[in-house]
Chain A
Amino acid sequence: MSERKIIDARGTYCPGPLMELIAGMKQIEVGDELEVLSTDEGSVSDVPEWINKVGHEMVETTQEGDVWHIVVRKAK
């Protein structure tokens, strides 16, 4: 069964949610998911941009208050 790991990057600016996600992807297996919590609206566009460029999969993006939950799946 695939696993989901959470990276709580709320209120963090450096390295920031995308760089944390890139580092996190190296630590999970193909098929597993990462959920990034971000308070930076920029993550809503810059995460899919990277995911699509590398060839991983976007699972979903939801907003709860001022926190975005961005879920991605490692595809290769």
Chain B
Amino acid sequence: MKILIVGGGMGGTIVANNLARRLERELRSGKAQITMLSASERHMYQPGLLYTSIGRLAPDELYRDQRSLLEPEIEFHVDPVETFDLDNNQVVTKSGKTHGYDQLVIATGSRAAPETIPGLAENSVNCYSEAAALEMLRQVRDFKGGTVGIVVGVPHKCPMIPLEVTFVLHDYFKEKGIADKVQFQYTYPIGRIHALAPVAEWATGEFAKLGINTTTLFNMKEVDGNKIVHSEEGETVDAELLVAVPPHRGMEVIEKNKLGGNGFIPTDRHSLLMEGRDNVYIVGDTTNLPISKAGSTAHFEAETVAENLAALIKFGTTVRDYDGKVFCFIEAGKERATYAMFDYNNPPAPKAPNKAVHWFKMAYNQLYWASARGLL
């Protein structure tokens, strides 16, 4: 069986390594073959970008060589896919090569698209790519005081970023000794300051202590040249430094191949099969599922897909459904953190933040690489 994995980020890497371990014998005998096609020879630890944007983590520390993260039996090519020919079970890459498959996994991720809101790209900073994080660092360092506006588009990758970027910048300006010259204006798309109700409740208290102003039900419509953000709800936010969590889209290749609106592929919430296909699995940010676009989601989905692909060879059938599981660390400042875990049947019930969870989260920044290797 030929298994082709498109995308070498969090989701694709875990599918590949998990599968390679499960199919050790089959790979050796030639009964199974795993190929990964990706767009980069490097793998980025994306959560680190937040710290790059305030000068706490150097860009080179964000990366590992992708080949070094993969089990040796996995065939790996840096050659991005340009055409998905799903009716003929094949893809065509940038270099012009055709790769056939029996089972396909698409895990090409998502990208920030500030250009989809008029004026946003020109008038704001964000931490969603290395170049953007470095530009954010430059503007944050040069900021002498005034209003910092936090604006949030939908959908966006990593639901904790709006709160985290606010806390991190607040600490940054406090350390710099200019906290008294900086006001924060935090906005959020729905009627509370975070999607998860218990998190919103906790953060409301923290923001009040720090004097951070909030406006809810605020969805960006356009930004004018004076960094004034106009919302669809008819309100405005005026800032000297505008920090955006831009709306996201899937990758262009998904849109061009008409696999899904805005680059997100219609996916069955339990089997993770692409709707209407029985040999195309979708993992991570690329799905259109209404769940968090986060590394942990990609991780749990990848484990389900790897187990099922291995089971197709070993049992002749899939054996497990994805249960909607998501796990998120929540940094609470003052070296405390907590976490939220939930799935389709169990709502989140985060406990009070403590130091132990914070130190575990710090350790996880390194453990990420073990996790990508499929060892955690």
Let me know if B219 is at the binding interface, CB within 8 A.
Answer: yes
Q: How far is the CA of A16 from the CA of B102 in the complex (A)?
A: 35
What's the minimum C-beta distance from B222 to chain A, rounded to whole angstroms?
A: 13
Q: Which of B325-376 contact A (CB under 8 A)?
A: 326, 328, 340, 342-345, 347-348
Contacting residues, chain A, for B58 (C-beta < 8 A): none
Let me know if B233 is at the binding interface, CB within 8 A.
Answer: yes
Q: Are B324 and A11 in contact (CB under 8 A)?
A: yes
Let me know if A67 is at the binding interface, CB within 8 A.
Answer: no
Contacting residues, chain B, for A18 (C-beta < 8 A): 189-191
Let me know if B22 is at the binding interface, CB within 8 A.
Answer: no
Contacting residues, chain B, for A17 (C-beta < 8 A): 290
Task: Among A10, A27, A46, A50, point to the contact of B344 (Cβ < 8 A).
Answer: A10
Q: How far is the CA of A7 from the CA of B288 in the complex (A)?
A: 10
Q: Are B217 and A12 in contact (CB under 8 A)?
A: no
Q: Which of B197-233 contact A (CB under 8 A)?
A: 197, 217, 219, 232-233
What's the minimum C-beta distance from A20 to chain B, rounded to whole angstroms?
A: 4
What's the minimum C-beta distance from A37 to chain B, rounded to whole angstroms?
A: 10
* Given known A22-B190, A50-B190, contact A27–B290 (CB-CB < 8 A): no
Q: Are A16 and B195 in contact (CB under 8 A)?
A: yes
What's the minimum C-beta distance from A43 to chain B, rounded to whole angstroms?
A: 10
Contacting residues, chain A, for B35 (C-beta < 8 A): none
Q: Are A22 and B219 in contact (CB under 8 A)?
A: yes
Q: How far is the CA of A14 from the CA of B217 in the complex (A)?
A: 16
Q: Are B195 and A13 in contact (CB under 8 A)?
A: yes
Q: How far is the CA of A65 from the CA of B195 in the complex (A)?
A: 24
What's the minimum C-beta distance from B155 to chain A, rounded to whole angstroms?
A: 5
Let me know if A9 is at the binding interface, CB within 8 A.
Answer: yes
Let me know if A19 is at the binding interface, CB within 8 A.
Answer: yes
Contacting residues, chain B, for A12 (C-beta < 8 A): 289-291, 324, 344
Q: Are B196 and A11 in contact (CB under 8 A)?
A: no
Task: Among A8, A23, A42, A50, point to the contact of B155 (Cβ < 8 A).
Answer: A23
Nearest to B117 among chain A residues (CB) is A26
Let me know if B90 is at the binding interface, CB within 8 A.
Answer: no
Nearest to B191 among chain A residues (CB) is A46
Q: How far is the CA of A20 from the CA of B264 in the complex (A)?
A: 13
Contacting residues, chain A, for B292 (C-beta < 8 A): 14-15
Q: How far is the CA of A7 from the CA of B217 in the complex (A)?
A: 20
Let me know if B279 is at the binding interface, CB within 8 A.
Answer: no
Nearest to A36 among chain B residues (CB) is B290
* Given known A7-B290, A19-B195, A22-B154, contact A13–B190 (CB-CB < 8 A): no
Nearest to A20 among chain B residues (CB) is B290
Task: Among B190, B233, B247, B340, point to the contact of A46 (Cβ < 8 A).
Answer: B190
Q: Are A53 and B190 in contact (CB under 8 A)?
A: no
* Given known A19-B190, A20-B290, A27-B262, contact A11–B217 (CB-CB < 8 A): no
Q: Are A14 and B155 in contact (CB under 8 A)?
A: no
Q: Are B195 and A11 in contact (CB under 8 A)?
A: no
Let me know if B118 is at the binding interface, CB within 8 A.
Answer: no
Let me know if B100 is at the binding interface, CB within 8 A.
Answer: no
Q: How far is the CA of A63 from the CA of B59 in the complex (A)?
A: 51
* Given known A15-B155, A27-B261, contact A54–B233 (CB-CB < 8 A): yes
What's the minimum C-beta distance from B125 to chain A, rounded to whole angstroms?
A: 22
Q: How far is the CA of A9 from the CA of B155 in the complex (A)?
A: 14
Let me know if A29 is at the binding interface, CB within 8 A.
Answer: no
Contacting residues, chain B, for A53 (C-beta < 8 A): 217, 233-234
Given contacts A14-B291, A19-B189, A50-B233, could you give 5 more A-B pairs where the C-beta distance is less than 8 Å? A9-B290, A14-B159, A18-B189, A23-B247, A46-B190
**A binding-site residues for B, Cβ under 8 Å:** 7-20, 22-23, 26-27, 42, 46, 49-50, 53-54
* 29 contacting pairs across A/B (C-beta < 8 A): A7-B290, A8-B269, A8-B290, A9-B290, A11-B324, A11-B343, A12-B290, A12-B324, A14-B196, A14-B292, A14-B326, A14-B328, A14-B342, A15-B195, A15-B290, A16-B190, A17-B290, A18-B189, A18-B191, A22-B154, A22-B190, A22-B219, A27-B261, A27-B262, A49-B217, A50-B233, A53-B217, A54-B232, A54-B233
Of all A-B residue pairs in the complex, the 9 with the closest CB atoms, nearest first, are: A11-B344, A23-B154, A14-B195, A20-B290, A9-B290, A12-B290, A15-B195, A18-B190, A23-B155
